[in-house]
Amino acid sequence: MRRLKPGTRLLRAWQGKTYTVTVADPGFVYEGKTYGSLSVIAREITGTPWSGPVFFGLKKVASAKAAT
Q: Do the domain assignments include residue 21?
A: yes
Does this model's pTM top 0.75? My answer is yes
Q: Do the domain assignments include residue 49?
A: yes
Q: Do the domain assignments include residue 44?
A: yes
- Cα separation, 57 vs 25, in Å, equals 20
E strand or H helix at 30: strand 28-30
pLDDT tens track of the chain, all 68 residues?
Answer: 578 999 999 999 999 999 999 999 999 999 999 999 999 999 999 999 999 999 999 988 776 555 55
Is residue 9 within 8 Å of residue 56, measured between CB atoms? Answer: no
Enclosing domain of residue 22: 9-59
CA-based Rg of the chain, rounded to a whole angstrom? 13
Q: Do the domain assignments include residue 65?
A: no
Q: State whether residue 5 is helix, strand or coil.
A: coil
